[in-house]
Amino acid sequence: MTIWQGLHAGEAGADAIDARLHAERVAPGTRSQLHHEAPLDELPDGAFVLRESAPHLVRGRRLLAWSPAGYVGSVPRRSEGRALVITPPSLVSVLREGWTPVVPLFHPSAL
């Protein structure tokens, strides 16, 4: 919560966080999922990107392919280029600040 408040002054509590994340995830009117672009080499571990229309986790110098059963393969993360980011911008900022969750951030298959 401290990281969030430092990044979003005046936004405190679950309702404020939920409202911001909803606005960053869902297009008004169409309810389609929103994505944003960012330099791939600047994304923090824990962010998700689309690669060949499939979700991949940013983990170190690799992109791990997501599946309901866990991560099922990886490809090198290029140091150039841009990525289509699934993770809302506010959460990317929180991850970039070094947030440490109470539960493990990564599924065992990502380790």
CA angle 42–48–53, rounded 5-degree value = 110
In the predicted model, is pLDDT for residue 75 greater than 70? Answer: yes
Q: What is the pLDDT of residues 43-60, one digit of tens each?
A: 999 999 999 999 999 999
Q: Where are the alpha helices (DSSP H) in the chain?
A: 2-7, 14-25, 89-96
Q: What is the pLDDT of residues 16-36, one digit of tens each?
A: 889 899 999 999 889 899 999
